[in-house]
Chain A
Amino acid sequence: MRILLVEDDAEVARFVKKGLQEAGHVVEHAANGRDGLFLAASEQFDLLVLDRMLPGGVDGVRLVETLRSQGSRTPVLFLSALSAVDERVRGLKAGGDDYLVKPFAFAELLARVEALGRRPATDAPTTKLRVADLELDLLSRTVTRGGKRVEVQPREFRLLEHLMRHAGQVVTRTMLLEKVWDYHFDPQTNVIDVHVSRLRQKLDKGFDKPLIHTVRNAGYMIRAD
């Protein structure tokens, strides 16, 4: 992916740029809002990673508002040292797609970048999600593996749906917490792991190949193998 990083802190910028490049992305970097806006408006990017507070008169929120008013639909991930709930809401309202508070683990950033960047360009409705022999029917809200029905709770269904929509990508615990439960606080326990392992037991029961994999220091991934 071609990613524009607008971040005024040189060290954080270097770290993010290096990490994203190692993950196979092309990264352009701007150190202030004005340059960032110029680059974003003049070149084509798959994703913008913006610091919320930027020097140069144009901060992250202003930058996104300007881009959105010009019709740009490029996904935007905010990086911010402001953690107040209001700030997050303001960032998303301005047109941001995701909001990550500093300091962050690089794995968390990478997972969110990939989730945002590889979103389907069109909102074409999908009725069935498939990973190997696992099939999730969004209409009848049923799950089958190898043709056999797997009984899941409504919340487990949504958890599985989220994992399958991002099949092949790492989904972090925080992402699951935010997207599946809509919780924006630290639950302080490994309760997400408990939910995932329950789901995993139901899916893998009677099958050799596990589908949901734990990615060390990052999160989970569902993949055919």
Chain B
Amino acid sequence: MNHLPPRARAAAAPGRAAPDRDGGDGLSPGAPPPGPLLRLLRSAGFRFALLFAALFAGSILAFALVLWWGTAVALDRQTDALLRADALALAERWREAGAPGTAEAIEERLAVDVDAASIYLLHGPDGQRLAGNLDRWPPEIEDAVTAWANLLVTHDGQSSEARLYATTLPGGYRLLVGRDVADKLALRELIAEGLIWAAGFALFFALFGAWLLRRALETRLRPAFETAAAIAGGDLGQRVRLTGLGDEFDRLGATMNAMLDRIDRLMAGVKGVSDAVAHDLRTPIARARAKLEDALRSTPEPGTPDGRALRAAVEAGIADLDAITRVFQALLRIAEAEAGARRAAFAPLDLVPLLADLAEFYGAAAEARGQRLETALPDSVRLTGDRDLLLQAVANLLDNAVKFGPAGGTVRLSARTLDEPGPAGAPLAAEVTVSDEGPGLAPADRARAGERFFRADSSRGTPGSGLGLSLVLAVAHLHQGELALEDAEPGRRPPGLRARLRLASG
């Protein structure tokens, strides 16, 4: 068995390629999770509910205003109109019959006013009272030609709130017409009280309705949301539960389900195709390899230079076929990880013993190249993930580090538990860091390093296929995480490369 060209250093991660300058362990803990208020404001259900409550309260306010206008204000206006008409009628009488006629008219009116709600006062130019049921001219109304006033007056032996209209008649006579409004005030208070109660109930119903609305929205949206989350997590078997009501939410759910069925068929198709490709490509390669190997085994060691050259060519052909198989295998493995199908194989695991084993395994390779492999591992880093793919991802990083690090250099492997928000929503649970003292990766190349077959110019002289970091990236995405590539020691020449594989759990 010969050893095939190790993978090239491709490197890099979309996303966080910016160098982190605070050194190995001092990573910033990330933004704190949003507070409850902010989360509430971000909820569309809450915003809808708020809108509902505002509309409800607005319409109730309009209703109350109209009601107020139609009752209390209308009563006031009615009183004023009555007073003005009465005053006009008395002024008319004045013109016709003078002061005695007017006084007479006033006395008549007072006589028929059984409710004792009317107030009249006629003063002569010298200030003496000519007629009316007020003892004295209210001092608050003095000089004006005509004046409106709301005053507490005493008439018919009782004191009460009155609406008054004063007017000046020719010759210095003054006339005061008024109505006792105590009953109307009581009615007005009653209306205001009613409106306040109604507003209170309305506010309560607005808030309660908003809460109901928000809850109903959430309840109806939850199946769609949960299904979408499960799908994003790789479980394509989930479907949105329908209520059978046939409403908008059901239609949304049904559309989502139709979409998922289609994705499912496509995925099954892709899986079928990749199985078929795997089979249809491996079988002829297997035949070709078998023929070449058979040819080698059944011909004796040749004595002639031509025979030896032929033999060497056949051996090279076998090695090339093995290289093709290896690239093909790597591509299939990346496709497997990207399809998310491997999430079925997720299991809880502790990264530390796995990493310690890998370090021991690759430590031998590092030593053979005159390098040291140092580890900084905590007691345990728990994660739910795919053991085989995680091992292969870290193995690819270590292989790159050993391959690109200089003789006498140090490769460092460390891990730690994380608790911070991740790029795919799930919180990141673990970080594995591999750094070397090699040439590093130009910032422009970092973003491309995860692309299949990408090879940085600096790695042209090193054997490899350009698939190593593609797999690491695919494994990072499978675990809802990310791969960050940065200078191991910014400013140093060469800067070295630090790869941080950050993973979410489950």
Contacts and interface: CB of A to CB of B under 8 A. Distances in A.
A and B assemble together: yes
Interface of A: 9, 11-12, 15-16, 18-19, 22, 53, 81-86, 89, 101-108, 153, 155, 172-174, 181, 183-191, 194-195, 198, 217-219
Given A185-B392, A191-B362, 7 more contacts: A105-B289, A106-B297, A181-B357, A187-B362, A188-B5, A189-B399, A190-B368
Given A85-B345, A194-B365, A105 B286 contact: no
Interface in B348-365: 357, 360-362, 364-365
Interface string B367-398: 11000000000000000000011011001100
B325 interface: yes
Given A103-B289, A187-B361, A189-B399, A81 B336 contact: no
Given A85-B345, A103-B286, A18 B294 contact: yes
B4 A188 contact: yes
B360 A82 contact: no
A83 B457 CA distance: 32
Contacts of A15: 290-291, 293-294
Contacts of A185: 333, 388, 391-392, 395
Nearest to A181: B361
B458 interface: no
A81 B293 contact: no
Interface string B327-344: 001001100100001101
B329 A104 contact: no
Nearest to A187: B395
B329 A189 contact: no
Interface stretch (B115-123, B275-283, B435-443, B496-504): B275-283
Contacts of B322: 103
Interface in B232-282: 275, 278-279, 282
Interface of B: 1-7, 275, 278-279, 282-283, 285-291, 293-294, 297, 318, 321-322, 325-326, 329, 332-333, 336, 341-342, 344-345, 357, 360-362, 364-365, 367-368, 388-389, 391-392, 395-396, 399, 402-403, 468
B481 to A, nearest CB: 19
Contacts of A81: 278-279, 282-283, 286
A155 B399 CA distance: 20
A86 B345 contact: yes
Given A18-B294, A85-B336, A103-B286, A184 B367 contact: no
Given A9-B283, A83-B278, A106-B297, A189 B1 contact: no
A113 to B, nearest CB: 15
Nearest to B464: A188
Given A103-B286, A191-B365, A195-B364, A183 B332 contact: no
B343 to A, nearest CB: 11
A84 B336 contact: yes
A173 B7 contact: no
A188 B364 CA distance: 13
B368 A194 contact: yes
Nearest to B5: A188
Contacts of A9: 283, 286-287
A150 to B, nearest CB: 18
A56 to B, nearest CB: 16
Nearest to A87: B275
Given A15-B294, A19-B297, A81-B279, A188 B286 contact: no
Nearest to B325: A103
A104 B360 CA distance: 28
B287 A12 contact: yes
B438 to A, nearest CB: 15
A103 B291 contact: no
Contacts of A155: 357, 360
B286 A191 contact: no
Nearest to A194: B364
B6 A173 contact: no
Q: Which of B294, B345, B361, B368 gathers the greatest number of chain A CB atoms within 10 Å?
A: B361
Contacts of B3: 188-190
Contacts of B286: 9, 12, 81, 102-104
A184 B388 contact: yes
Contacts of A173: 1
A15 to B, nearest CB: 4
A77 to B, nearest CB: 15
Contact of B1 (A12, A86, A174, A188): A174
A102 B345 CA distance: 23
Nearest to A153: B360
A82 B402 CA distance: 31
A108 B290 CA distance: 12
Contacts of A187: 361-362, 395, 399
Contacts of B279: 53, 81-82
B332 A84 contact: yes
Contacts of B403: 189
B278 A103 contact: no
B392 A189 contact: no
Nearest to B357: A181
B472 to A, nearest CB: 12
Q: Which of B322, B326, B395, B396 gathers the greatest number of chain A CB atoms within 10 Å?
A: B395
A85 B388 contact: yes
A179 to B, nearest CB: 14
B453 to A, nearest CB: 16
Given A183-B391, A185-B391, A187-B399, A103 B297 contact: no
Contacts of A83: 278, 282, 329, 332-333
Nearest to A84: B336
Nearest to B399: A188
Contact of A198 (B341, B344, B364): B364
A33 B388 CA distance: 31
